[in-house]
Structure 1
Amino acid sequence: MESDQQSSESSDRSELVSEDGKNIKSVICQCCESKVLCPGSAVLAEKELFLPLMKKKSGLNNTDGSVDGDTLTAHWFVDDMFTFENVGFTNNVGRIKYLICADCEIGPIGWHCLDDKKSFYIALERVKHV
């Protein structure tokens, strides 16, 4: 059963990724369908990153320190924040800024570490592709 799921994920990704590893389709917000990235502007990257569960920006800062979320591995990577068509950033959470939709403020859809000024990740599972 797992191999069927993996092969379906691989075929799904082949429809999203060009031969040079870039996104074929536009990357848009799941909620409001605002465009986040244009085709050909990001590279597929495999990296384990923890993202809190998706919610409005105001709900991302938990005072008790516990955060529910997912560890995701497939991301669109860009090295310049000006590559994005429409993305917002949360306040710092430690050394991390989470990326959110700038229009509806739902997120996080991605991750940016303040230690690396040229690394921005958008989780494939947190966006749609059209």
Structure 2
Amino acid sequence: MTEESNFAAQIENDRNKLSVRCQFCNCLMLKANEGSYCEQEVDVPLMQQKQDRSAEALQTEKLRHFWLIKDMMTFENIGFSHTVDGRKFLVCADCERGPVGYHELASKFCYLALGRVVHGDK
């Protein structure tokens, strides 16, 4: 199954069909039908970095598939990092793993990456 078809199974009427959870601790981040599907290409830091922690050494990957959450209060559990270039990165509120997406300060919208979370109930 390709990444595209796997994500398509999570989308119903351009919304998240199932609840969204942390892939590490299963914490509920977002209830079903609360996020809108959107595609955009954004560089997001890798969840695990190599030991060199200098800003120039920050490793990123291009992510394309996101749940758009227009009001941060919609989340059940989410944490925010420090501000970096007009964004705050989203992490699991329970285990603090991430980033699982980002919060755009200018629009106040949050983008939760489909590939960095799991979908479903326990």
Q: Which has the higher strand share?
A: 2
Q: Would the aligned equivalents of 1:55 and 1:108 in 2 still touch at CA under 8 Å?
A: no
Q: Deviation at 1:11?
A: 3.3
C-alpha distance in structure 2 between counterparts of 1:10 and 1:63, whole Å:
33
Alignment root-mean-square deviation, CA: 1.9
Q: Deviation at 1:55?
A: 4.2
| Partner deviation per Cα, 1:76-116 (whole Å, 9 max, x = no partner) | 11100001010000011121100000000000000112111
Equivalent residue of 1:106, what SS? coil
Q: Which has the higher helix share?
A: 1
Point out the more displaced range, 39-48 or 65-74.
Answer: 65-74
TM-score of the pair, normalised by structure 2? 0.88
Map of 1:40 onto structure 2: 33
2:67 corresponds to 1:67: no
Q: Deviation at 1:64?
A: 3.6
TM-score of the pair, normalised by structure 1? 0.83
Q: Deviation at 1:10?
A: 4.2
Equivalent residue of 1:125, what SS? helix
Mapping 1:15-30, distance limit 5 Å: 15-18=9-12, 20-30=13-23
Percent sequence identity over aligned pairs: 37
Mapping 1:45-124, distance limit 5 Å: 45-55=38-48, 62-117=53-108, 119-124=109-114
- The runs of 5 or more residues in structure 2 that have no matched partner are none
2:116 corresponds to 1:126: yes
Equivalent residue of 1:13, what SS? helix
